[in-house]
Amino acid sequence: MDSILLIEDRPGLRQVYAEFLRNLGYMVVEAGSVEDAHKAMAVREFSLVLTDYMLPGANGMDFLKQLKERDPDYLVILMTAFGEIKLAVEATRAGAFDFLEKPIDLDHLKIVIERALEHRRLRRKDTFHEAQSVTESEEIIGQAPALKAALAMAKKVAPSDANCLLLGESGVGKELFAKYIHGNSRRAVGALVSINCAAIPGELIESELFGHEKGAFTGAVGKKAGLIEMADGGTLFLDEIGEMPLSLQPKLLRVIQAKEFRRVGGSRTLKSDIRVVAATNRDLKTGTREGWFREDLYYRLAVFPIDIPPLRDRRGDLPLLISAILRQARFGHADISPKLLAQLQAYHWPGNVRELKNLLERAIILSQGQPLDVNHFPANLFDSAENVGLRFHLDLNRSFKDNLSRLEGQLERTMIELLLKEESGHRERVARRFGVSVKTLYNRIKALGIQC
Ligand SMILES: Nc1ncnc2c1ncn2[C@@H]1O[C@H](COP(=O)(O)OP(=O)(O)OP(=O)(O)O)[C@@H](O)[C@H]1O
């Protein structure tokens, strides 16, 4: 809900405006002086400030300048009884969104406020688009019963505003489902804001999500709105929620339950009306037992779990997916040879649809307009992982011990390469499967000269 701080020293007038605005559905906080206004702003943030020009102890212009200094994005509408054109020009130059002459025409006030709030929403959406570059929602392709069941569930849950949890391996289409749910909800007019918790170092997730105040930490030169604020009225997609640091989970729970949060280094409580769609490849239930995922948060998110099947369990969808991808790539011959199709169907697709897309796009470039064939795919791709893993190089002129340590190196390299491929390059997950820290994995990748 949008909130308005109304500053007017005449109680009768203030009451008229406040009642009018409340009837329009806004949350209104009243202040009779600049001092009261500062107090109100110390505890919460407002979508808009509507202030009289003549106030006891200060004038509206000075107040406007103070506000703009504090935060240039503040939306301020000034009201004055004087109607001087000079004042209007000065107010606009100082950053006021608009200037209204008293007596205020309430219908006009309504229009100006709606315009100001729309301006704010568009500006936030722009910032978000710059930061996230969200693509248009795409079609979810597939006829396999498990995929259709997931889609049916998404269709049911989308308009309900319930939080949901998308479960599935990397590349199965979790983000695509999140877009579908957002696009088919009443929040579709708002933003869909995404964050991948595994891609951002733990210590940065907090300020990305919750934003920070000026000076909250070294390098915080200005105030920054977090993704939760950007998603106000829309949907927040939390990819890889299992990687969310335990210390942040209570803060996230508070946003979900009370729609309240604080920026890093901030003392004010802010409001944001978000719906959370989370996704994970990890077993969060186990996480609650092992202590890395909070149970209360788990139950909040897992109201609607949706299982998205891996591609290897719905190989029958490959022809549909392949022709859609080739069509999107504007690739002339959507027909691929039965031999290649058989190879693609036999492959185990550890990277799921993302891997299929990447491989086809690569093959299209290599084929240079010729029909696609096996040669346009990476050598050894269609060998089984076990076979790839066993292709070691023995040097019979060296001692057994020497060969053994060389083999260990080759085994380690092959395992890291295979796991990186299976986990689509997510180093945190590879490290976990390997049973080492991310730092150790980084060092080994560097030492072994693995390209990834
Ligand atoms: N059923 C589908 N139909 C069409 N395209 C799909 C389908 N599933 C996935 N894709 C495409 O595959 C790519 C990967 O999908 P997406 O990013 O949604 O996967 P993800 O599960 O969120 O992966 P990760 O967990 O690694 O973030 C995207 O380009 C997406 O459009």
pLDDT tens per residue across span 41-57: 877 778 899 998 888 87
Q: Verify that 290 and 210 share a domain, yes or no.
A: yes
Q: What is the CATH number of the domain that holds 362?
A: 1.10.8.60
pLDDT at 221: 67
Residue whose Cα lies nearest atom 13 of ligand 1: it is: 354
| Residue 35 beta carbon below 6 angstroms from any ligand 1 atom | no
| Residue 213 beta carbon below 6 angstroms from any ligand 1 atom | no
Residue among 257, 287, 261 at smallest CA distance from 272:
261
Q: Verify that 209 and 227 share a domain, yes or no.
A: yes
pLDDT higher than threshold 90 for residue 63: no
Whether ipTM exceeds 0.90: yes
| Closest atom of ligand 1 to CA, residue 317 | 1
Q: What is the CATH number of the domain that holds 12?
A: 3.40.50.2300
Pairing of strands 48-52, 54-55: unpaired
Q: Verify that 293 and 195 share a domain, yes or no.
A: yes
pLDDT at 391: 45
Please compute the mean of the pLDDT values over residues 294-313 and round it to a whole number.
93
Q: How confident is the model at residue 120 (pLDDT cuts 50, 70, 90)?
A: confident
Given a contact cutoff of 8 angstroms between Cβ atoms, the answer to whether 74 and 49 are in contact is yes
C-alpha pair distances (Å), 300 with each of 253, 290, 303 = 8, 18, 6
Q: How much of the chain is in helix, strand and coil states, percent to nearest 5?
A: 50, 15, 35
Residue whose Cα lies nearest atom 18 of ligand 1: it is: 173
Q: Verify that 362 and 220 share a domain, yes or no.
A: no
pLDDT at 147: 96
- The answer to whether residue 178 sits within a structural domain is yes
- The answer to whether residue 135 sits within a structural domain is no
Residue with tokens 């390098």: 219
Q: Verify that 173 and 81 share a domain, yes or no.
A: no
- The answer to whether residue 9 sits within a structural domain is yes
Domain end call among 376, 410, 429: 376
Residue whose Cα lies nearest atom 31 of ligand 1: it is: 176
- The answer to whether residue 126 sits within a structural domain is yes
Domain end call among 359, 376, 393: 376
- The answer to whether residue 136 sits within a structural domain is no
- The answer to whether residue 139 sits within a structural domain is no
Q: Verify that 298 and 437 share a domain, yes or no.
A: no
- The answer to whether residue 370 sits within a structural domain is yes
194 beta partners: 237
Q: How many independent structural domains does the chain possess?
A: 4
pLDDT tens string 250-275? 999 999 999 999 888 888 888 899 99
What is d(CA 125, CA 193) in angstroms, rounded to the nearest whole number? 10
What are 403's two structure tokens?
Answer: 């060969």
| Residue 357 beta carbon below 6 angstroms from any ligand 1 atom | yes
pLDDT at 202: 77
pLDDT at 121: 75
Please compute the mean of the pLDDT values over residues 424-438 and round it to a whole number.
84
| Residue 170 beta carbon below 6 angstroms from any ligand 1 atom | yes
Q: Verify that 159 and 291 share a domain, yes or no.
A: yes
C-alpha pair distances (Å), 419 with each of 86, 169, 390 = 69, 13, 15
Q: Verify that 124 and 159 share a domain, yes or no.
A: no
| Closest atom of ligand 1 to CA, residue 353 | 12
> Ligand 1 centroid to 356 CA: how many Å?
10
| Residue 144 beta carbon below 6 angstroms from any ligand 1 atom | no
Q: How confident is the model at residue 397 (pLDDT cuts 50, 70, 90)?
A: low
- Largest alpha-carbon pair distance within the chain? 100
**% of the chain exceeding 70 in pLDDT:** 88
The CA R_g of the chain, rounded to the nearest whole Å, is: 28
Q: Which residues contact 413 (CB under 8 A, 6 or more apart)?
A: 448, 450
Q: How confident is the model at residue 389 (pLDDT cuts 50, 70, 90)?
A: very low
Domain end call among 251, 274, 307: 307
| Cα angle: 273, vertex 305, 240; to 5 degrees | 70
- For 255-313, list the strands marked E by DSSP: 260-261, 270-271, 275-280, 305-307
Q: What is the CATH number of the domain that holds 162?
A: 3.40.50.300
Report helix, strand or coil for 27: strand
175 vs 440 pLDDT, higher one: 175
56 lies in which domain range?
A: 3-130
| Residue 142 beta carbon below 6 angstroms from any ligand 1 atom | yes
| Closest atom of ligand 1 to CA, residue 357 | 12
| Residue 181 beta carbon below 6 angstroms from any ligand 1 atom | no
Would the pTM of this model clear 0.80, i.e. be above it? no
Q: Verify that 97 and 83 share a domain, yes or no.
A: yes
| Residue 354 beta carbon below 6 angstroms from any ligand 1 atom | yes
- The answer to whether residue 19 sits within a structural domain is yes
Q: Verify that 162 and 264 share a domain, yes or no.
A: yes
| Residue 174 beta carbon below 6 angstroms from any ligand 1 atom | yes
Q: Verify that 238 and 334 share a domain, yes or no.
A: no
Q: Verify that 11 and 119 share a domain, yes or no.
A: yes
| Residue 353 beta carbon below 6 angstroms from any ligand 1 atom | yes
Mean pLDDT for the chain? 84
Amino acid found at 398: R
* Per-residue three-class SS string for 143-192: CCHHHHHHHHHHHHHHHHCCCEEEECCCCCCHHHHHHHHHHCCHHHHCCE
pLDDT tens string 196-238? 988 888 778 898 999 988 777 766 667 788 899 999 999 999 9
Residue 154's φ and ψ, nearest 5 degrees, are: -65, -40
| Closest atom of ligand 1 to CA, residue 176 | 18
pLDDT tens string 341-358? 888 888 888 889 999 998
